[in-house]
Structure 1
Amino acid sequence: KVVNVGKALERVQGPTRVEIEKVRSRARLNSRSRVLEMQRARYDSMQRQGGTVDGGLLVPPKAGIPAPLTPNDPFNTGMTKGQPQTVETPAEQPAVPAQPTEATPPAPAPAEDPFGAPATPTTPPADDPFGTGNK
């Protein structure tokens, strides 16, 4: 379980707090020196085994240099920049004559108005100041 000591000691003040902080500082330094000792021991043991050490990890020897990758550029046309290239234009083909179609007469206009007469505006009731029509 991790305890936030700084948060727990927020209300401790005065010389008591100074003593507690000195002890905490020494404990942090001791802990860090133990971690560094363990890392140094691991490093030395790897050196004795003959491996190369890189960041505390044993690095295996390289098998060989891989072959260079082939370029995969779909926009590379082999043409150097700035040099124009002639483009062959296809021979013009004769236009196909339009086939005659049957002429359809336009639909007759309706005799009556499809939308009907406009709606008559409603008058708001006299006792409703907002004119919503609700009572």
Structure 2
Amino acid sequence: MKLNIRLACLLALSTLGVGIFPALSNPVGSPQTQLNEITVISNNIELNRAKNLARQAAEIANGGLGQYRAEAAMHGVSAQSPFVDNGNGTWTFTFKGYRPGSSVYTVETVVTVSQEGRVTVDYNGPIRNSNPL
């Protein structure tokens, strides 16, 4: 009797484990699926690096962390940061910053970063009007 209960528990846990971990239920994925997953992970790593380089360039251009803080989106998930994929292996980030202790954004920074890590500060100055005449 005890053996049947143990077997039933083992079977239930195995089934539950396969349901929780889909990779275990189908260990052989299609090559295209694996390639897409690798590409997505690689792009997220590169985009996150680019976001960090853009934020750091703005911090340097504005006198360091004692004088400047970038908006929260430049510290969070890279895919949710204010960027444009230029389609040529570069991303352009346009974001705002403020002085520590303030809650008013006063600086706009535009930085372009390549996948290789080249950084160009395209604009760093007063916040421009986003509604052209």
TM-score by length of 2: 0.31
Q: Whose RCO is larger (CA < 8 A, sep 6+)?
A: 2
Q: Which is strand-richer, 1 or 2?
A: 2
TM-score by length of 1: 0.30
Give the number of the structure whose alpha-carbon radius of gyration is greater: 1
